[in-house]
Amino acid sequence: MSGNAYMPCPTTAGTACAVLPLGDSITEGWLPTGGVGGYRVELFSKAVLAGKSITFVGSQTSSSAPNTVQNQTFPKKHEGHDGYTIDTGGSNSGISGSITDQAMSSYHPNIVLLMIGTNDVNGNIDVANAPTRLGKLIDEITTDSPTALVVVASIIPINASNNKNAMTYNAAIPGLVSTRAAAGKHVIFVDNYAAFIKDSNYTTTEMSNYLHPNTAGYAVLGDSFYSAISPHLP
């Protein structure tokens, strides 16, 4: 990424860049043994080691997350909602609408890490229109906060027969992002799916079940997200 990367974070000394992790249980950091901070632990570790000042914001708290990472107080907030889809419909609860609007207005994030769609794909919920619905959510975020950098991630593999649908959904995301970036929106794409499958044995080395990463898998995601945002951190 060029040296002209958009810089959304405050440059005032001592003011941390506010990062909103937004999504479902993978954003929450779900593990069979209890969440421990998910991808945010590795992301925060990378930032501290690089001398970058970030904090996580959101209405949710991971109480089982570590208190410190790299000898720094670990911020335990996030906006990950277990079982949630892109938007609300039928019996499904979505992160679009009030959850996103309230998070943006309450916490004023400088960076939004958006990874959503796993439950839509896995539950076969209007999968054909899932990219369109994701696009509307991206527009909602950029309208709520035009100065925030929105990092839109592909979803990780689903270790089941409907992984083909996950791949189809993911294939549409770069186009959604590039169209909005061309229109002047501060939106970038990060390919978490590609990061995950670099290890051909990911189903055993990086997954805790057919949907969720294990600790190693969350570290992969943290590294992927950090690589995406690091050029945008002061």
Q: ∠ CA 112-114-118 to the nearest 5 degrees?
A: 165
What is d(CA 66, CA 68) in angstroms, rounded to the nearest whole number? 5
C-alpha to C-alpha distances, 114 to 20, 137, 201, nearest whole angstrom:
8, 10, 26
Q: What is the pTM of this model?
A: 0.97
Give the pLDDT confidence score for residue 1 in this predicted structure.
39
Give the pLDDT confidence score for residue 2 in this predicted structure.
43
Q: What is the pLDDT of residues 90-138, one digit of tens each?
A: 889 999 999 999 999 999 999 999 999 999 999 999 999 999 999 999 9
Give the pLDDT confidence score for residue 30 in this predicted structure.
95
Range list of β-strands (E), 53-156: 54-56, 60-61, 68-69, 72-73, 77-80, 111-115, 149-153
The residues, ordered by sequence, that sit 6+ positions from 163 with a Cβ below 8 Å of its Cβ are 157
- Residue spans of the chain under pLDDT 70: 1-3, 35
The CATH superfamily holding the domain 17-232 is SGNH hydrolase (3.40.50.1110)
Burial of 227 by CB count in 10 Å (0-12 exposed, 13-18 middle, 19+ buried)?
A: middle
Give the pLDDT confidence score for residue 149 in this predicted structure.
98
What is the pairing mode between strands 60-61 and 77-80?
antiparallel
Structure tokens, 21: 């992790």
Give the pLDDT confidence score for residue 162 in this predicted structure.
87
Give the pLDDT confidence score for residue 36 in this predicted structure.
82
Would you kindly state where each structural domain of the chain is located, as residue ranges?
17-232
